A and B are shown apart, each in its own frame.
Chain A
Amino acid sequence: MVQKLDMLKESPSQTAGPYVHIGLTPNWCDITGVYPEDLGRTMVGLQAKGERIVVTGRVLDGSGTPLEDALIEIWQADAAGLHNSPIEKRGKADPHFTGWGRQPTDGATGEYRFETIKPGRVPYVDGRPMAPHIIFWIVARGINIGLHTRMYFADEETANAECPVLARIEHRSRVPTLIARRMEEDGRAVYTFDIRLQGENETVFFDV
């Protein structure tokens, strides 16, 4: 026998279940009067710096069916590449932008929608700049542990080509699963990012 390391084990994950909205977006599921607004609904203040964008899409299961009961959280840097977090050591982030959002997928169409800003670039562990990206965390009924992925931007071809994280993906045919396509809608950029949990064009998920 050897000495024990005396480490605790992380609490094991369990599925968020079909009624995750009761706890995390209660107003959205008609539990009103408890919280004034669902947390994570509003990310961008009036004075926030940067390009306002919409990020939308669906989460699809292995049969191609959209999940109508998923919940997505996103986390990203501000327009200058800084995070609105006490742990951010590189500078002070834009106080008018939270960097964190939470949205359910629509109960009928399966679509999610975030109103946010386009993030600036953030350094990789060795200091090289990563391409602009948004971290996604997906939970739902049938997902036993939250899935992490990243959304990149189709109109950042140069940055994407030199991103050290995208370069880590061995199977190059899978890189496009992380890149959202850009469209214009009423003069505003709308990025569409579908997440495929399983099967053809399965999204790359990360163990971070």
Chain B
Amino acid sequence: MSDQGSFFQRDRSWHPPAFTPQYKTSVLRSPQFALLSLENTVSEMTGPHFGHSQLGPLDNDLIRNYMQTGEPIGQRIVVHGRVLDENAKPVPGVLLEFWQANAGGRYRHKKEAYLAPLDPNFGGCGRTITDEEGRYRFRTVKPGAYPWPNGVNDWRPAHIHFSIFGHAFTQRLITQMYFEGDPMIWQCPIVSTIPDRNAVERLVAALDRNNTLPMDALAYKFDIVLRGRRSTFFENRMEGN
């Protein structure tokens, strides 16, 4: 492997800044001091590894992994895509975790108070590990929009939360996937924490008719890009030191 050097610096004008007052909770939860830039050390360039033996057979099937009496209600979908780095190389063998509300926009969480009902057959969590080409796939029901106490009439667009590990702890990322064509994407104070419309569009999954399961489930394609890293070819020090 030639790509053993430090990771490309994060473009923090592409990511959302910490302080985004239209998303009210960020006001008191955003640091005021500048971040201290640090060259990658071995502490950041390593990261945990997860193996298939740690996963169960239904972990990537949200339609069946919480079944009590039958299958959950809602639009059946497949979500799939690839995890790549900024050099467009696949990122194999990394853990992805996802969570979401049910078809009515209700989360299975003790602090959730929305009046839409829980679905007795839907938990809302799943996970999988990317294959050798960086691909992943899971099955679920399409989540509903839900209201939240920010403005008096703010609603989140339908979304699925993603947590992604790379090969290094410095690649760690949490983001949200939105659905093509949802008009609420462009009204959401959380989406609009991202300054650049092109960046927002990277989080909108495309309807993917070629990967639907006919007479069963629609498909959405959602690719994820993690930080890339330099080659050590021109570096004057031993790798890993």
A residues at B contact (CB < 8 Å): 6-24, 26, 29-31, 33-36, 39, 61-63, 65, 67, 69, 73, 75-77, 83-90, 98-100, 107, 122-127, 130, 133, 135, 137, 139-148, 165, 168-169, 174, 197-199, 202-208
Contact = CB atoms under 8 A, between A and B. Distances in A.
B159 to A, nearest CB: 8
B87 A7 contact: yes
Contacts of A84: 48-49
Contacts of A19: 99, 107, 109, 111-112, 161
25 contacts: A8-B228, A10-B15, A11-B226, A14-B176, A15-B26, A17-B161, A29-B108, A31-B66, A31-B125, A62-B30, A73-B172, A75-B46, A83-B46, A84-B48, A100-B48, A124-B41, A126-B237, A127-B241, A135-B44, A144-B16, A144-B23, A144-B26, A197-B28, A197-B30, A207-B36
Contacts of B27: 62, 142
A11 B227 CA distance: 9
B136 to A, nearest CB: 13
Contacts, number: 275
A63 B28 contact: yes
Given A17-B161, A19-B107, A24-B163, A11 B125 contact: no
A98 to B, nearest CB: 7
B172 A137 contact: yes
A208 B170 contact: yes
Given A22-B109, A165-B38, A208-B38, A13 B173 contact: yes
Contacts of A10: 10-11, 14-15, 86, 173, 225-227
A118 B166 CA distance: 25
B70 interface: no
Interface residues of B, number: 91
B25 A168 contact: no
Interface string B35-61: 111111111111111100010100100
Nearest to A143: B29
Contacts of B42: 83, 88, 90, 122-123
Contacts of A146: 172-174
Nearest to B172: A137
Interface of B: 9-12, 14-18, 20, 23-33, 35-50, 54, 56, 59, 65-66, 84-88, 97-100, 107-112, 123-127, 161, 163-164, 167-170, 172-176, 190-191, 193-194, 199-200, 202-203, 224-228, 237, 239-241
Contacts of B33: 174, 202, 204-205
Is chain B's interface secondary structure helix, strand, loop, or mixed overall? loop
Contact of A123 (B9, B37, B84, B241): B241
Given A20-B174, A202-B31, 5 more contacts: A11-B173, A26-B125, A89-B240, A144-B16, A168-B36
B164 to A, nearest CB: 8
A18 B24 CA distance: 13
A73 B56 CA distance: 22
Q: Which 7 A-B pairs have the closest CB atoms?
A: A23-B99, A142-B25, A142-B29, A100-B48, A85-B46, A144-B16, A62-B28
B203 A11 contact: yes
A137 B48 CA distance: 13
Contact of A130 (B11, B16, B41, B168): B41
A14 B164 CA distance: 12
B85 to A, nearest CB: 7
A34 B123 contact: yes
Contacts of A31: 66, 108, 123-125
B20 A144 contact: yes
B125 A34 contact: yes
A84 B108 CA distance: 34
A204 B193 CA distance: 23
A130 B36 contact: no
Contacts of B86: 7-10
